[in-house]
Structure 1
């Protein structure tokens, strides 16, 4: 009797499950969507409708997009989370650029420079000298100066507040691969972004006239104290033709970076025939010129073949500009995405110490910032840390 009762119950359960409406059953559409389109989470090169991609691309991740339409024309592991180095300064600029007038002046103090990670790239800011905001931004864009970043961050209320605002800005841009630990892009455990997110930062930044002007500036005179100045040159080699590279015709920026953890990273933009293309290349396997060479090769392909390409994804619109929210999910290809490691030790500043009030004021977006502490790590080939 017991056996027959069990059999009857099992049969009833089976009939109940079979009778459930289709909407109650799990489906592929219920799975979290990938920002910009599910193809961007796939492994391997993503391209449709065109051939002839450059054959010697060694980058661990890259993306090519049309700046006007936001269409992603081709990509490779676009959402792979990697250390961004100083390309993260694009997000820093997009977050703070409109907070100060170009003509505002600031006399630098020792406290402004006290929390710069040892070995950072510097433009040469000194305490006691007064700089205009325009000069500070030239230090950020041209020389990737972490000293200029930290002065601006202190003008903004401190490093902790700035980091929180950058994270909130990333959330608004729907750059969900990005985790900000420091404002300068320096190597810290857990500081990550992706080719997709960096391209979002570049696209949105270039819509601003000041951002666009700074990143395309080749040289500038920088204060050295009193009436003395010295010349600084942009470290973007496709813009200046340095290190044996020719300048790229039509290049308009955007930002390069190097650290021992990130290797070389670069987001570049160029305009030809009225069309602007964006390329982000992260961590190529070859030498320091490879990031520029691979960027140039992808730009060439885009301008040559781009009209026949069918998009494999799109650069989404910021939420604050009416963009449709994408479910907050990390890319599907977790195997190819770098995990966020737990930070160890103590950084040269405590990112959130004493900043509770500042974070609270920033609203819900800033709450996405994970409470982490970071340590500086890595040196370049000459024994220096870079940003």
Structure 2
């Protein structure tokens, strides 16, 4: 005998029957369904962020991988700028004064808010609070500058005077501090505390090799940031149609003062203060791979030499080490939005009754789950009555099947 669906067995009833069956199966096998739904994808395992909080050098080499160089920096990190995978690190989350490398966060925060072609006449108040001993590009009150000129002053000459003017255009020093702190948290940079946007030493101002690598990597995705940080030389306006040359202070980019230019060097930002020592976040590209490296406070003073060693190691070790972490690991997860609504719910078809088929399925599924639960409860009651009718089984001190479990 063949059982088929006829006009007397409506489509909705068929859907409901299937839903009842599915609900029963899901009620009986929840563990299996959950396990299949959360099965991890194949690939190299990336440890959680806790590994980068450990002291000492963190690296997971394969056989034949080059040895990590012995450098003197208090903190350093090497990461793949494309994937965010951290290839090796030492004290990655150690909080240290960042000096002018903090200007990377300043640029990430303020660059998008100010059009490059905007012209501004500098007022005396905008330069009044520039700290004595600051690095300067030569901004003068009463002169008019384009925003693009000021950014070249920030990236090439590390000009704190240019930072002060840009912060004023962004709404003021205190507002910029708040916005930088918010930006850092949005990127998962939890070690950074901002007091002075130009990176000048201030009580409580800290960052980390991890956070600076996050800032540098994020900046490279912004075309303006990438262009400014990779510029070796430029002209800076001096008023009345005159200008003077400025040069990037990152010696790995320019090859100055006895430091050879690093092949494939993109740039980013270097810094120095008496409290922070030498700091550097730099990126280089070779063979289709871009690496970002952070070096903080080398004890022998050779920040460029140590960055060179770490970059050389990173290019040699790529593909021969497993990652020890990710620059995305601490980034907050995006909040669910309209795009997260399941397609089935968004495109539910309706029949002439005005009831969506999915509503019928959901309702009958709920009834089906309830029915299954009731059946299992009744079955359990029968089992309990059956067990009470049987004589007790003799047991030893640990029960019938070995040592007793401890909850």
TM interval, shorter chain, is 0.7 to 0.9
List aligned pairs for 1:331-342, cutoff 5 A: none
Q: CA–CA distance in 1 between the matches of 2:67 and 2:124?
A: 50
Measure how far apart 1:168 and its partner are.
Answer: 0.5
The match for 1:314 is: 326
Aligned counterparts of 2:204 and 2:122: Cα–Cα separation in 1: 30
Q: How far did residue 53 of structure 1 move?
A: 3.3
Tell me, in whole angstroms, the C-alpha distance in 2 between the residues paired with 1:249 and 1:77. Answer: 27
> In the alignment, which residue of structure 2 is the partner of 1:56?
70
Q: Which has the higher contact order (CA 8 A, sep 6+)?
A: 1
Alignment root-mean-square deviation, CA = 1.7
Aligned to 2:41: none
Q: How far apart in 2 are the matches of 1:320 and 1:230?
A: 44
Q: How far has the Cα of 1:119 moved from its partner? A: 1.1
Change (3 A) 1:133 1:43: same
> Hey, what does 2:226 align to over in structure 1?
212
For residues 60-110 of structure 1, what are the alpha-carbon distances to aligned partners after superposition, in whole Å with 9 as ceiling and x for unaligned?
A: 000000011110000000000000000000000000101111111000010
Residue matched to 1:37: 49
Which residue, out of 143, 151, 176, partners 1:129? 143
Whole-Å separation in 2 of the counterparts to 1:318 and 1:44: 20
Post-superposition offset of 1:320:
7.2
In 2, are the aligned partners of 1:36 and 1:315 still within 8 Å (CA)?
no
> Can you list the C-alpha shifts for 1:245-268, whole angstroms capped at 9, x where unaligned?
110000101100000000000001
What's the counterpart of residue 91 of structure 1?
Answer: 105
Deviations 1:328-354 (A, max 9, x none): xxxxxxxxxxxxxxxxxxxxxxxxxxx
Once the two structures are superposed, the pairs formed by residues 283-298 of structure 1 within 5 Å of their partners are 283-287=297-301, 290-298=302-310
Contact 1:71 1:313 in 2 (8 A): yes
Q: 1:317 to 1:126 in 2, by over 3 A?
A: farther
Distance in 2, matches of 1:56 and 1:41, equals 20
Task: Structure 2: state its 5+ residue gaps.
Answer: 1-46, 337-407
Normalised by the length of structure 2, the TM-score is: 0.69
Structure 1 residues not aligned, in runs of 5+: 1-34, 325-387
Mapped to 1, the partners of 2:100 and 2:267 lie a distance apart of: 14
Change beyond 3 A, Cα 1:36–1:103: farther
Residues 112, 318 of structure 1: CA spacing in aligned structure 2 closer, same or farther, 3 A cutoff?
Answer: farther
Matches within 5 A, 1:340-355: none
Question: How far apart are the structure 2 equivalents of 1:127 and 1:54?
Answer: 49
Equivalence for 1:347: none
> What's the TM-score, normalizing by structure 1?
0.72
Cα drift, residue 318 of structure 1: 7.8
Residue 76 of structure 2 contacts residue 92 of structure 2 at CA under 8 Å; is this kept in 1? yes
In structure 2, the CA distance between the partners of 1:302 and 1:323, relative to structure 1 (3 Å rule), is farther
